[in-house]
Amino acid sequence: MAFISKEQLAQAAAAFDISLSEEQLEGFDTYASFLVEYNQKVNLTAITKPEEIVIKHFLDSLLLAKAYPFSQGASLADVGTGAGFPGVPVKIYRPDLKLALLDSLGKRVVFLQELSRRLGQENLCVHVRAEDAGRQADYREKFDCTTARAVASLSVLAEYCLPLTRVGGVFVALKGGDCDEELTQAAKAISLMGGKVREVQKFELPMDYRRSLIVIEKISQTPTKYPRPSAKMAKNPL
């Protein structure tokens, strides 16, 4: 018996011109069931009702594929991914993507590794702080797209994510419905990291849930002094 209503997810996605196959819907059901089961021993999410998972985790994450047309086989880094959002749902929809899931908590990375195995996804699950990854040659300016649905401010997210984004790639931040003020405050940080705001796409989802996706192009290399250690970021915000 399905854990989520696959019909609810299929219809919600179709409303945004996202077509999901039966196999993909089965993958989402596996994801939701395992998430709620694992959440009993490791705190991954406060959203555990099946109908809320469908909208606030799965549909919300799939908007990334709507906002940014990934090229075939593109590399995507999900920074501070937590329980795998938005990266893993996007990969269920676009299995050709090369996905790296970065998180600072080892317990979450163990979950992500097992989740990837159950979904048949060959993901790179990395236990690393974002500011450390941005200074490592394996990750710095290596990704076609970076994304974050983290609760940090946009200026902090820009310092985490743009150093990981290749020149010519994009950083897509998932923020709340009203992001104009935050965008203004982050203008300096985005510019310093080599980024330029391309567009802001706003979506209204069921359950009175609103989401803004801020698409930021990487137009020049990030100076080597960034990203700074998190203590410096907190003390001297850009």
Q: Give 197-210 pLDDT, tens digit per residue.
A: 999 999 999 999 99
pLDDT over 90 at 238, yes or no: no
Residue 210's contacts (CB-CB under 8 Å, 6 or more residues apart) are 176, 177, 178, 202, 203, 204
Alpha carbons 67 and 224: distance in angstroms, whole number: 29
Of 76, 72, 81, give the one whose Cα is nearest residue 102.
Answer: 81
Alpha carbons 156 and 158: distance in angstroms, whole number: 5
Alpha carbons 6 and 22: distance in angstroms, whole number: 9
Q: Give 113-138 pLDDT, tens digit per residue.
A: 999 999 999 999 999 999 999 999 99
Domain 6-235: give its CATH code.
3.40.50.150
The better pLDDT of the pair 151, 58 is held by 58
Of 217, 218, 213, give the one whose Cα is nearest residue 201.
Answer: 213
Of 63, 113, 41, give the one whose Cα is nearest residue 84.
Answer: 113
Q: Give the amino acid at 71.
A: S
